[in-house]
Amino acid sequence: MSVSPLVTESPLRILLAEDDDHLATLVGTILDGDGRFTVVGRATTGDDAVALCAEHEPDIVLMDIGMPVRDGIDATRAIHARDPGQHVVIYTGSDEYSDVARAEDAGAVGYLHKDALTSPDVADALHVLHSNYLSSVPDPE
């Protein structure tokens, strides 16, 4: 049985699903400036997130729960229908446990509060979430 590497040499590819231009720019700048990440696309609707995920095959989808057209929960469900192994991290401003449960039911494997997105620590949080995700994925061999 081989062990999956938890740290990669190349930056992790992020698809950012956020309809607020200001927040998307801020988060993109933080992540692109970190060196461990590169933002490969930005979705402004849930439908865009599904399509861009198929196109770019990112390492992580950072998904707002409140996306227009198709919300982040439904978009996550559609992404997982196409690729059950896709790593989706949902975020919201809500403190409701039901949002966490709905995100997990849809296939999200990480959850952040929206306030964390503007923190300089967001890159560290995403890196830890992704490392934990990789360590929990069964080795196909």
Residue-range domain boundaries for the chain: 12-136
Tokens representing residue 53 in the block: 């995920």
Which CATH number is 12-136 given? 3.40.50.2300
Buried b / exposed e across 122-137, counting CB within 10 Å, b at 16+? bbeebbebbeebbeee
The per-residue pLDDT for 46 is 96
Burial class (CB in 10 A: 0-12, 13-18, 19+), 58: buried
Tens-digit pLDDT profile for the chain (141 aa)?
A: 333 344 446 899 999 999 999 999 999 999 988 889 999 999 999 999 999 999 999 999 999 999 999 999 999 999 999 999 898 999 988 778 888 889 999 999 888 888 888 777 888 888 887 877 776 655 444
pTM of the model: 0.85
- Residue 5: its pLDDT value, please? 41
Angle 133-135-76 from CA coordinates, rounded to 5°: 20
